């Protein structure tokens, strides 16, 4: 076998033309000579070194690059433009440095935030690059750092080491140079995977000297992002050997169960596959940020138009004034009306520039920061078990948490714990497993001695006294065969524990499912003890028995089953088979009452979303085995079509089986996952699951977390292809109008699908490539869909691809659930990009492993789970959580509150700015359009800093419409953020009109009153008029804010009171006669406030303005309350508040909300298209190939090199030539 494998791996020496990546072992100089083009006609090394750099800045680039990024915010460009204008004395109204200071503060605050984030990335990079490793240098290995590794180096790795680069496995200390790896840091899966070196390097590289003399050359594909594929050749000693992904150790894997292995570095640093999938750091901006940029442009254009109109008016007014008052001509000797108009234009531009105040953006940052702290301080999102709090790693995205429309979630480690627990079973028509008696039965079993395990198993939750008693009596042959099958039919490896208990067995399984089954058999008295190449030893109720293994019929995703053919100690040949119900039930010898009960039990297990396997066996006669064995040996040595011939023989043997029963294993979800997904769905948030796992396991988790329900129509590859093809035909038959079918019409293309209301899409990565033309595994022209697409009228490939993308996204977004299986990290990112591109939706991605990093970076919001699979996802995320269930509070409470607060803050900041400062425009009509300020300079300087900032700030920090409890109880409130209902262009327009009307009323009521009569102390002067208008505007703004605050606290009362006191205090200080005497040019309103605000007539004017400005707001609020014209948020919040006082109305609210009905769990058969007469809950996370390792002896070490488990147990040693060796994990 080995010789034939070596021969088949030897090629004719021709190098495929696409292979341009050449790696020579132990030859650094060879790789240094190659260069490749870079930006601006520069060149860089073709072969990257192993140092990674995920940080954005360094000492030299931080200042220019950060300033460049900040100037992408149009508001900053606007402020810089105004400062430049202020440097010209002819048009300046304020010293330029008074505006430079707040802008500098804003840039410094944001720059420091970016710097802190980047320092964290630098520290992470430094930590990874400084990891130690052994690199071959000359004739011996030396300890160096990861960053010192170069392409072509040979690295020695030991047990528990992380793989530092993508490497070709050359040899290992294990038999046949096997190497076991764990890919938890890549895909979150903790089950073991194996890699195996080429036979030639295994044989030749037996010592450190031979490794140092190795001079092979690897020719392979260029660095790419395909995680599961690799194609190349090894040229050594005149021979060429083929290479595939089974020979490659990927960066980020962890060496397990292998003492030492050696690898040749193929791809280093950013050329490695995992780094190719990480994506780039993207500057994220919220929808409100983008809207604010557009509003800045709109406001600036309006400001320029107003300034231009006022400047033109000033020119005409100057000409008319000069003609009417000729005695003043000497004042205008060196100027003209046109020149005056020009200077006035820029003067008005500067004067009105405070409509977009810098203080708003500084306050913005403070609100973002404090609301982020609220997330960090939330004890409801603190995971006490592992002492992990929630953390807002980004402080500038919190409002977007209230606008999420799509959530893209990883499965393993995010939704699940990747822990399998044996829950129930059905044996010979009897169902065992009653969780209600869980603790009682455990006590019974421990007290009665009905368990034969060496120690109670954490992963066993099946405590049934009836089953334990039946096992103890040992009178049921079917039960005996059932447990014997669990102990025999698997590929688990066993070894002695390194702990103090010498009799403790430790199992290492290729999948958590197999481990759970073997542990279940062990706890029930059937203990798997050891295996050799051709024998398995188990203990049956304390009696040791050895079974000779005649053949192992390996598991594969197509077969969905595995079998073992053994000869028992009595000489009888038996076949034990386990697999999916859809394949086992159709291979039974007969179907009787027990089979019917088992099928009903399978339905029951499926309704409980348990992972099921059917178990069957049969007795094989000697004659039948002799014939089959001869043909099996002939097929196993074939060089062509070996797999197909073996499958035929497997199929032939696995017939006429006798059903023993079924097992039900729970893939443990994280706590609260189903409830969280249900709440998110009620909040109109769609959850998509993107996983690298198999379809069966992904579907099982979909049902477990209630993402899928039994009444859903499942659309798979065939149905999706039909719908998209019909869409293409219809779209191309349109008579040149260019119209495309809307998303609601997509389902009408498929008559069968159109009859169902609820639908879900389940696709895999290969099919995703076919329909989206990503080109990774696209097989153009061979698939039916590809052939159909070739004859469409749209000839532009880019246009075709865009239309297919849009059609697929429309189809997927119209479904209630989407599950994408076997997708690469790059495909995860692509799916997120497509939804953002074609739906313009706000997206959130959540994951826990390095394979989720690209998706997290691409989504508008990235959430990392602080789990067991490393911290790569957390380090690249915007928010870090310990559990998926905390997502509901993050979005429905903190996200919605933050969106509400920031929208209210923006509305009232713009309102108070327009209400207080638009009076400058009205004053220009009565001051000869001379750009003369209406207000005192100190009022302008303090208006947005002390007078009106704090009430608006408290609203941005503390405002709530309903409590956190009610926010979770009524997730329907979340839709206001998705619809942009609290701040949009309409809201801004209304706010603008409201502010303008307030300024008009304050200005013209005062102007009318001052023209009519003056008071006893007031002389009708400009200063008193300015104080009156300023006071009226200020109080109107304060009253308006007071009326709209929904959540009053002691701090709210304090800030409102403080604002009024600040107004009085600073007015007194800046308008005192003593201040005027000290600096007349600075304090130019002496005693103006004192004289004006002590006159009853002026106070009545202020009161009148306040009433006139308040009545419209009160009228609108009363009209909405009476007529019921409220927003969704206001209406639901009102109903919730009413329900708190009148609990009976809670039922009415629930009746109004459109909640999806909970799927009922009942014992019934559900017919699903394309399945075996019911929804199968089969799921088995096993990988193909382990049976071959065992039967070939590749994973076995010669006896005597290490003491076996059997000798440690002081029992009789199995009569075999070798025993399995597995180091402890």
Q: Just list the catalytic residues.
A: 410
Neighbour order of strands in the sheet with 166-172: 140-145, 132-137, 154-158, 260-267, 166-172, 248-249
Contact, 147 vs 49, CB < 8 A?
yes
Q: How many CA atoms lie within 13 A of 257 on its CB side?
A: 27
Q: Please report the DSSP string for 893-958 in residue order.
A: IIIHHHHHHHHHHHHHHHHHHHHHHTHHHHHHTTTTT----SS-HHHHHHIIIIISHHHHHHHHHH
Q: Any idea which residue has 């088979």 for tokens?
A: 577
Distance separating alpha carbons of residues 1037 and 1045, to the nearest angstrom: 13
Contact, 1013 vs 1101, CB < 8 A?
no
- Our CA angle for 412, 417, 423, nearest 5°, is 115
Q: How many CA atoms lie within 13 A of 1202 on its CB side?
A: 14
Distance separating alpha carbons of residues 133 and 261, to the nearest angstrom: 12
Measured in degrees and rounded to the nearest 5, phi and psi for residue 5 equal: -65, -40
Two tokens at 823? 């997708």
Two tokens at 34? 């190659």
- Give which of 504, 526, 517, 506 is closest to 451, Cα–Cα: 526
CB neighbour burial string for 413-425, b if at least 16 within 10 angstroms, e if fewer: bbbbbbebbbbbb
Measured in degrees and rounded to the nearest 5, phi and psi for residue 338 equal: -65, -40
Distance separating alpha carbons of residues 350 and 931, to the nearest angstrom: 9
Contacts 24+ apart (CB under 8 A), 1099-1105: 1101/1005, 1101/1006, 1101/1009, 1101/1028, 1101/1032, 1102/1028, 1102/1031, 1102/1032, 1102/1035, 1104/1005, 1104/1009, 1105/1001, 1105/1002, 1105/1005, 1105/1006, 1105/1032, 1105/1036
Write the burial class of residue 1175 (CB in 10 Å: 0-12 exposed, 13-18 middle, 19+ buried).
buried
Two tokens at 296? 């800045």
Distance separating alpha carbons of residues 1088 and 916, to the nearest angstrom: 19
Q: Any idea which residue has 């000409």 for tokens?
A: 319
In the chain, how long is the greatest CA-to-CA distance? Answer: 132
Contact, 1109 vs 998, CB < 8 A?
yes
Two tokens at 1203? 């003491």
- Give which of 346, 354, 294, 359 is closest to 103, Cα–Cα: 359
Write the burial class of residue 676 (CB in 10 Å: 0-12 exposed, 13-18 middle, 19+ buried).
buried
Cα distances (angstroms) measured from residue 251 to each of 20, 48, 165, 580, 749: 21, 14, 4, 34, 45
Distance separating alpha carbons of residues 660 and 616, to the nearest angstrom: 5
Distance separating alpha carbons of residues 1184 and 277, to the nearest angstrom: 25
Distance separating alpha carbons of residues 947 and 944, to the nearest angstrom: 6
| 679 C-beta neighbours (distance < 10 Å), count | 21
Residues paired with 195 in a beta bridge: 179
Distance separating alpha carbons of residues 266 and 1186, to the nearest angstrom: 26
Q: Any idea which residue has 């450190």 for tokens?
A: 208
């Amino acid at each position: 076998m080995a010789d034939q494998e070596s021969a088949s791996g030897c090629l004719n020496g021709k190098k495929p033309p696409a292979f341009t990546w050449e790696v020579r072992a132990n030859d650094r100089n060879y790789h240094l000579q190659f260069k490749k083009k870079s930006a601006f006609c520069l060149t860089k090394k073709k072969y990257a070194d192993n140092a990674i750099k995920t940080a954005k800045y360094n000492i030299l680039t931080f200042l220019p690059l950060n300033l460049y990024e900040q100037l992408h915010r149009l508001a900053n460009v606007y402020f810089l433009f105004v400062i430049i204008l202020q440097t010209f004395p002819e048009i300046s109204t304020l010293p330029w440095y008074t505006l430079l200071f707040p802008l500098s503060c804003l840039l410094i605050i944001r720059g420091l935030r970016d710097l802190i984030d980047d320092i964290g990335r630098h520290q992470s990079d430094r930590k990874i690059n400084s990891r130690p490793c052994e690199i071959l240098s000359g004739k011996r290995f030396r300890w160096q750092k990861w960053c010192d590794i170069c392409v072509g180096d040979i690295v020695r790795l030991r047990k528990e080491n992380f793989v530092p680069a993508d490497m070709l496995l050359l040899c290992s200390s294990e038999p046949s140079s096997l190497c076991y790896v764990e890919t938890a840091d890549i895909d979150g899966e903790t089950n073991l995977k194996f890699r195996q070196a080429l036979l030639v390097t295994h044989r030749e590289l037996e010592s450190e000297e031979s490794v140092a003399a190795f001079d092979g050359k690897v020719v392979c594909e260029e660095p790419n992002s395909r995680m599961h594929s690799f194609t190349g050749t090894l040229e050594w000693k005149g021979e060429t050997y083929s290479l595939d992904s089974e020979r490659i150790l990927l960066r980020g894997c962890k060496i397990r169960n292998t003492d030492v292995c050696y690898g040749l570095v193929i791809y280093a640093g950013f050329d490695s596959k995992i780094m190719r999938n990480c994506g780039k750091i993207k500057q994220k901006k919220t929808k409100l940020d983008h809207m604010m940029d557009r509003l800045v442009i709109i406001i600036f254009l309006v400001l320029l138009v107003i300034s231009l109109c006022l400047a033109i008016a000033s020119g005409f007014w100057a000409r008319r004034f000069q003609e009417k008052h000729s005695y003043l001509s000497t004042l205008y000797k060196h100027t003209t009306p046109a020149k005056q108009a020009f200077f006035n234009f820029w003067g008005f531009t500067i004067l009105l520039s405070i409509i977009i105040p810098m203080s708003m953006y500084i306050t913005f940052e403070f609100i973002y920061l404090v609301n982020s702290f609220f997330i960090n301080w939330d004890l409801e999102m603190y995971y006490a078990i592992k002492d992990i709090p929630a953390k807002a790693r980004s402080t500038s995205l919190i409002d977007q948490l209230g606008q999420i429309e799509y959530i893209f979630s990883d499965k393993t480690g995010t939704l699940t714990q990747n822990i399998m627990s044996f829950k129930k079973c059905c044996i010979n028509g009897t169902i065992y497993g009653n969780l209600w008696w869980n603790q009682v039965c455990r006590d019974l079993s421990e007290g009665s001695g009905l368990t034969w395990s060496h120690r109670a198993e954490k992963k066993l939750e099946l405590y049934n006294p009836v089953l334990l008693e039946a096992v103890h009596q040992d009178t049921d042959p079917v039960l005996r065969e059932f447990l014997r099958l669990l102990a025999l039919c698997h590929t688990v490896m066993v070894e002695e524990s390194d702990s103090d208990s010498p009799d403790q067995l430790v199992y290492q399984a290729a999948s958590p499912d197999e481990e759970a089954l073997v542990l279940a058999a062990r706890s029930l008295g059937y203990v798997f003890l050891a295996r050799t190449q051709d024998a398995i030893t188990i203990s049956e109720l304390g009696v040791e028995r050895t079974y000779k293994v005649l053949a192992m019929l390996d598991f594969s995703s197509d077969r969905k089953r595995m079998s073992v053919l053994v000869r028992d100690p009595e000489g009888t040949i038996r076949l034990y088979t386990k697999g999916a119900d859809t394949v086992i039930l159709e291979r039974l010898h007969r179907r009787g009452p027990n089979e019917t009960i088992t099928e009903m039990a399978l339905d029951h297990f499926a309704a409980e979303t348990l992972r099921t396997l059917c178990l069957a066996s049969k007795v094989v006669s000697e004659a039948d085995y002799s014939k089959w064995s001869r043909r099996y040996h002939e097929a196993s040595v074939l060089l062509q079509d070996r797999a197909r011939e073996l499958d035929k023989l497997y199929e032939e043997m696995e017939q006429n089986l006798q059903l023993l029963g079924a097992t039900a294993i729970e893939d443990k979800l994280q706590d609260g996952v189903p409830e969280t997904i249900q709440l998110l769905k009620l909040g109109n948030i769609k959850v998509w699951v993107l996983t690298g796992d198999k379809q069966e396991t992904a579907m099982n988790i979909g049902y477990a977390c209630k993402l899928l329900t039994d009444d859903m129509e499942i659309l798979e590859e065939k149905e999706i292809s039909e719908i998209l093809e019909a869409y293409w035909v219809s779209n191309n038959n349109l008579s040149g109008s260019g119209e495309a079918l809307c998303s609601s019409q997509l389902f009408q293309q498929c008559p069968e699908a159109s009859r169902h209301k609820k639908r879900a899409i389940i696709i895999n990565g290969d099919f995703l490539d076919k329909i989206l033309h990503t080109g990774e595994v696209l097989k153009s022209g061979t698939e039916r869909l590809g052939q159909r697409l070739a004859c469409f009228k749209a000839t532009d490939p880019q246009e075709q691809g865009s239309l297919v993308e849009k059609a697929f996204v429309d189809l997927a977004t119209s479904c209630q659930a989407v599950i994408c299986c076997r997708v690469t990290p790059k495909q995860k990112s692509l799916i997120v990009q497509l939804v953002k591109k074609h739906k313009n939706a706000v997206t959130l991605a959540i994951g826990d492993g390095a394979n989720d990093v690209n998706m997290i970076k691409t989504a508008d919001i990235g959430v990392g789970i602080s789990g067991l699979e490393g911290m790569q996802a957390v380090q690249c995320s915007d928010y870090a959580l310990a559990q998926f269930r905390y997502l509901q509070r993050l979005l429905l409470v903190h996200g919605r509150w933050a969106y509400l607060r920031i929208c209210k803050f923006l509305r009232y900041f713009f309102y108070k700015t327009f209400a207080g400062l638009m009076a400058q425009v009205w004053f220009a009509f009565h001051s000869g359009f001379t750009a003369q300020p209406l207000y005192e300079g100190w009022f302008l300087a303090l208006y947005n800093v002390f007078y009106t900032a704090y009430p608006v700030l408290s609203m941005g920090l503390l405002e709530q419409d309903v409590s956190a409890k009610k926010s979770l109880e009524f997730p329907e409130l979340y839709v206001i953020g998705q619809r942009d209902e609290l701040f949009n262009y309409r809201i801004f327009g209304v706010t603008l009109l409201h502010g303008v009307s307030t300024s008009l009323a304050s200005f013209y009521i005062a102007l009318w009153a001052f023209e009519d009569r003056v008071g006893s102390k007031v002389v009708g002067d400009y200063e008193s008029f300015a104080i009156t208008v300023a006071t009226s505007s200020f109080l109107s703004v304060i009253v308006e804010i007071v009326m709209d605050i929904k959540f009053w606290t002691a701090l709210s009362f304090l800030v409102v009171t403080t604002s009024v006191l600040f107004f009085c205090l600073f007015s007194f200080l800046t308008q005192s006669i003593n201040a005027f005497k000290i600096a007349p040019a600075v304090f130019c309103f002496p005693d103006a406030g004192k004289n004006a605000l002590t006159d009853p007539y002026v106070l009545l004017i202020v009161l009148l303005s306040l009433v006139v400005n308040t009545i419209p707001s009160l009228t609108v609020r009363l009209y909405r309350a009476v007529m019921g014209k409220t927003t969704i948020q206001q209406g639901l919040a009102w109903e919730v508040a009413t329900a708190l006082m009148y609990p009976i109305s809670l039922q009415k609210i629930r009746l109004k909300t459109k909640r999806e009905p909970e799927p009922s769990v009942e014992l019934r058969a559900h017919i699903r298209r394309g399945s075996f007469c019911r929804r199968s809950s089969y799921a088995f996370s096993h990988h193909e190939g382990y049976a071959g390792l065992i039967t070939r002896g590749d994973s076995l070490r010669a006896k005597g090199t290490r003491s076996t488990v059997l000798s440690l147990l002081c029992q009789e040693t199995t009569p075999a030539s070798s025993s399995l060796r597995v180091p402890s994990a």
